[in-house]
Amino acid sequence: MIVLGIETSCDETACALVDANRQVLAEALLSQIDEHRPYLGVVPEIAARAHISHLDGLVRACMRQAGLDFDAIDAVAATAGPGLIGGVIVGLLTAKGIALATGKPLVAVNHLEGHALSPRLSHGLPFPYLLLLVSGGHCQLLVVEDVGRYRRLGTTIDDAVGEAFDKTAKLLGLGYPGGPAVERAAGTGRPGRFDLPRPMLGRPGADFSFSGLKTAVRQALAGLPAPSEQDRRDLAAAFQEAVADVLADRAANAIAIFRARHPGGRHLVLAGGVAANMRLRERLAEVARAGGLELIAPPPALCTDNAAMIAWAGLEHLRLGRRDGLDAPARARWPLDPTAPPAAFAGVKA
């Protein structure tokens, strides 16, 4: 079974071919970082324009790379949300065009589910597991019970964690994208010099909040008459430590809930672009160990937005007999756990 996957929900245009033996047969990805850098953030219309100009070429390149004809694929899977709607529409309609023209089934994939199932592609992980999804658009703790069955234990009530990194980088003048820039600066900074708040720390449950932290960085910066390079590095380190403390505290609560519900569960998965941060990985590995779980982090290329995880999620659904109609909608919002109370900023990329 081979599935063609397409991902266009934010600022990566991506296409991949994945088979049921967990092999990525081909992959093509184009990052739009250079197009968005002058704006210090993703501009939705610029993203959509780049997606349509490049996606069909990436599909062609992928098929050539794998040496496959469209007859050889079993389905076309595309991100149908949540994400920037203009980009989602480009990927979904391209997939619909290919599916209709070739007579192959279409699977409309939830982007978050792509992340959630990615450790099954990389590690063959069994259900259930606990997932911490940290990216530019999301910060959620979810129990992954089965394909299509997700229970949200917590989510951010304001900024996503990657957004907090981007905004902090902007404040500190560290460049774009903010995640790697802050981590680099923090590497030579002294985290103890600035006392930043740890929003939600010690509170019950597994929700997150990051907007106060960003404000505290701004205020600390304003308190310095002429911030030096070292001041900025120290602030970056203090910020990163505060984020690590909050993620660790919230994850510890979620682990307790997860272990009570699923005594046989053994893994905490860290996914999403922010999972590339080594300091956060370190801290979460400690928390997982303390809670009796093993930390699993898919390789960086599967953590950031990619099409292999979309193809894989499509394949998991296809194996269960699910497919979507040509009228499948593109959705800006699409929570993974329909039973979780709506959170204003959860499941939104902006």
Partner 1 sequence: MKLLAMDSALDGCSVAVLDGPRLLAHRRREEARGQAEALMPLVQAAMTEAGLGFTALDALAVTIGPGTFTGIRIALAAARGMAVALRLPLAGVSTLEALAAGIPQELAEANLRVAAIDARRGEVYVQGFDAGLRPLDAAALLPLDAAASRLPAGPVLLAGSGAPRLLALLGSGRARLAPGDGRIDARQVACRALARPLPPAGTAPEPLYLRAPDAKLPGTA
Residues that bind partner 1 (CB under 8 A): 38-40, 43, 45-46, 48-49, 52-53, 55-57, 59-60, 70, 85-86, 89-98, 100-103, 170, 325-330
**Cβ closest to partner 1, residue 28 vs residue 297:** 28
Beta-carbon contacts of 228 under 8 Å, excluding residues fewer than 6 positions away, are none
Chain centroid offset of residue 47 CA: 17
**Cβ closest to partner 1, residue 39 vs residue 300:** 39
**Cβ closest to partner 1, residue 45 vs residue 282:** 45
The least CB distance from residue 79 to partner 1, in Å, is 13
Chain centroid offset of residue 97 CA: 27
With 0-12 CB in 10 A as exposed, 13-18 as middle and 19+ as buried, what is 65? Answer: middle
Give, in order, the Cα–Cα distances in Å from 62 to each of 3, 4, 15, 18, 21. Answer: 12, 9, 7, 11, 18
The least CB distance from residue 68 to partner 1, in Å, is 12
The least CB distance from residue 50 to partner 1, in Å, is 10
The least CB distance from residue 145 to partner 1, in Å, is 30
Give, in order, the Cα–Cα distances in Å from 127 to each of 46, 118, 212, 256. Answer: 38, 12, 35, 17
DSSP collapsed to 3 states, 182-236: HHHHHHCCCCCCCCCCCCCCCCCCCCECCHHHHHHHHHHHHCCCCCCHHHHHHHH
The least CB distance from residue 328 to partner 1, in Å, is 7
Dist. CA 65–CA 17, nearest whole Å: 10
**Cβ closest to partner 1, residue 100 vs residue 344:** 100
**Cβ closest to partner 1, residue 79 vs residue 94:** 94
Q: Smallest Cα–Cα separation from 12: which of 340, 273, 332?
A: 273
**Cβ closest to partner 1, residue 103 vs residue 341:** 103
The least CB distance from residue 98 to partner 1, in Å, is 4
Residue 56 tokens, joined: 């069909």
**Cβ closest to partner 1, residue 51 vs residue 120:** 51
The least CB distance from residue 7 to partner 1, in Å, is 14
